[in-house]
Amino acid sequence: MENNKLHIISTGKQKPELLADIVGRIHPYIDCIHLREKTKTAKEIYKMVELLIDQQVPLSKIVINDRADVAYVSNAKGVQLAYHSLPVEIVKRKFSNLTVGCSVHSIEEAQMAEQQGADYLIFGHVYSTQSKPGLRPKGIDQLRSVSESVSIPVIAIGGIMPANIKDVIKAGTQGVAIMSGILEAKDPFETVQQYRSYLSS
């Protein structure tokens, strides 16, 4: 299970300096930090990447949400696309050096993203989460169905705690993506190690 991935997704609410400080401390335990900053401008996200680099976070762990241009000019590892983003197949073809992840919410979306060449999927939200109030969670069964419907890695997102990581991995996923669970934890450094140990056991 050593290969299970731990992705961290920025909350969109933390100050760039605070986020960079936290990620600078926890990055040895994570595989990816996604800058998902929907209200920030391209210039602001570009500067956030610089802050992460200043904190010794490797570019090979940095993924930019939606903005392929910011990912490309920053030499980040990749871009995370969603329904509202540029089509996966076009981004794959035109930005061939970027790893392209795709956020999906159904088997149909998952299969289409795989056909279009996505390198991996993020599926959720699996459990109830304060980030998606009032939206019914997909649950473990649907997570399993999605994982079985594609051959590319599926990362689970949404309300995942250390205690339920085992169930998530058993459902056929290759890892988990965590937002506030780690970034807003009292002690992110201790918490990331908890998640990591559950992923590896």
Residues taking part in catalysis: 125
DSSP state of 59: G
Q: Does 59 bind a copy of itself (CB under 8 A)?
A: no
- Minimum distance from CB of 150 to a copy of itself (Å)? 21
Nearer to a copy of itself, 53 or 161 (CB): 53
Using alpha carbons, list the distances in angstroms from residue 28 to 6, 25, 69, 77: 11, 8, 26, 16
Stretch touching a copy of itself by CB under 8 A, among 18-26, 80-88, 101-109, 136-144: 80-88
Q: Does 73 bind a copy of itself (CB under 8 A)?
A: yes
- How buried is 185 (Cβ within 10 angstroms: 0-12 exposed, 13-18 middle, 19+ buried)? middle
Stretch touching a copy of itself by CB under 8 A, among 26-34, 61-69, 124-132, 143-151: 61-69
Query: Pairing mode, if any, of strands 120-124 and 99-104?
Result: parallel
Give the whole-angstrom CA distance, residue 24 versus residue 160: 22
- Minimum distance from CB of 41 to a copy of itself (Å)? 4
Q: Does 37 bind a copy of itself (CB under 8 A)?
A: no
